Amino acid sequence: MRLSIEEVGLRYGKVDVLTGFSARFEDHTLTALTGPSGSGKTTLLAAMAGYLQPSSGTIRLYSDEGQPSPPTPALVAWVPQGSNALSGRTALDNVLLGALSSGRTMTDAVAVATAALERVGVAHRAGAAAKTLSGGELQRVAFARALASDKPIIFADEPTANLDADSTDQLAHVLEALRSTRLLVVATHDPILIEAAQTAVSLRPEHHGH
């Protein structure tokens, strides 16, 4: 699976976030999406996931057979910037959402979710309520939720903002291991993640003339 962006413009109302932007995101590749705060990383990922229509240009997904299709949320697991969670539920229940929404049996889903929590290093907090987790733990739970879904595409929006260097390293290794099966894009300012990525796409801030 491959994702191609051609001459895309993105805007909120009358305010352009991106104009004439082109890029390619390859399968089996971890791409770092970089750029200053407010440059449009989240906005671009939203368009690449089919949550936002570009005001101009085209975004196309290409299957391994080269078949093009418009982007759709159904193919994307999204790790949100704010680590959204069901705060009253356990970490495991939160991760289960990813596995159960793809139709697994409960036994199967629990196995997948537990493995995902182990992979990001928070398995010991599986039974804890999400509202009691630290910022970094919650961020890793949000990542594990994406892992536990069977989506071929993972977009992670600043997944290491609350993590220390060790946890970031661990996540970088997870991303590296996932590369063989998924299309991975990580919006990040983190040098460790940028270093771990095979390619980087950089956004310049849009200059509005006054």
Partner 1 sequence: MDTDRWRLTHLVREVARNVLNARSRPALLLFLAVIFGVGGIGYAAAESHALANQLAAEQAAGRNIISFGALDPNEPVLIDRASCDQLTEIAGVTRAGLVQLATSRDFLQLGTNVPVLAASQTLFPALRDGVVLVGSALRPPAATDFTLATTEGTLMQARVNHAEPTGLNTNSVVVVPLTPGTTSTSACIAVLDQRADASLLTPILTARLHTAGGQIVAQPASSPAIDPVKAYLSRPGQYVPLILGLVGGLATGLVNRSRTSELAAYRLSGTSARSSALLLGLETALIAGVTATSAVAAILALHDRIQTPLATACIALAGAATWWLTGILATIDIPFRNAISLAKDR
Give least dist CB 78 to Mg ion, A: 12
Residues forming contacts to Mg ion in the complex (CB under 5 A) are 42
Q: Cα 111 to the chain's mean position, in Å?
A: 22
Q: Which residues in the 16-75 window bind ligand ATP by CB under 6 A?
A: 17, 35, 37-43
Q: Within 10 Å of residue 127's Cβ, how many Cβ atoms?
A: 9
Distance CA(199)–CA(128), nearest Å, equals 37
Nearer to partner 1, 145 or 182 (CB): 145
Nearer to partner 1, 98 or 136 (CB): 98
Give least dist CB 198 to partner 1, A: 25
Q: Is 149 in the site for partner 1 (CB under 8 A)?
A: yes
Supply the DSSP symbol for 77.
Answer: E
Assign 3-class secondary structure to 93-130: HHHHHHHHCCCCCHHHHHHHHHHHHHHCCCHHHCCCEH
Do 175 and 164 contact (CB within 8 A), yes or no? no
Q: Is 86 in the site for partner 1 (CB under 8 A)?
A: yes
> Which of 25, 147, 135 has the alpha carbon at shortest distance from 96?
147
Q: Is 91 in the site for partner 1 (CB under 8 A)?
A: no
Q: Is 84 in the site for partner 1 (CB under 8 A)?
A: yes
Looking only at Cα atoms, what is the longest distance across the chain? 59
Each residue 175-194 as x (binds partner 1 by CB under 8 A) or -, in order, gives --------------------
Nearer to partner 1, 92 or 163 (CB): 92
* Contact of residue 113 among partner 1, ligand ATP, Mg ion, none (CB under 5-8 Å per partner type): none
The residues, ordered by sequence, that sit 6+ positions from 139 with a Cβ below 8 Å of its Cβ are 83, 159, 160, 161, 162, 163
Give least dist CB 115 to ligand ATP, A: 30
The torsion angles phi and psi of 24, rounded to 5 degrees, stand at -130, 140
**Contact residues: ligand ATP, CB under 6 A:** 12, 17, 35, 37-43, 81
**Contact residues: partner 1, CB under 8 A:** 42, 46, 49, 51-52, 72-74, 77-82, 84-89, 93-94, 97-98, 100-103, 106, 109, 129, 131, 142, 145-146, 148-149, 151
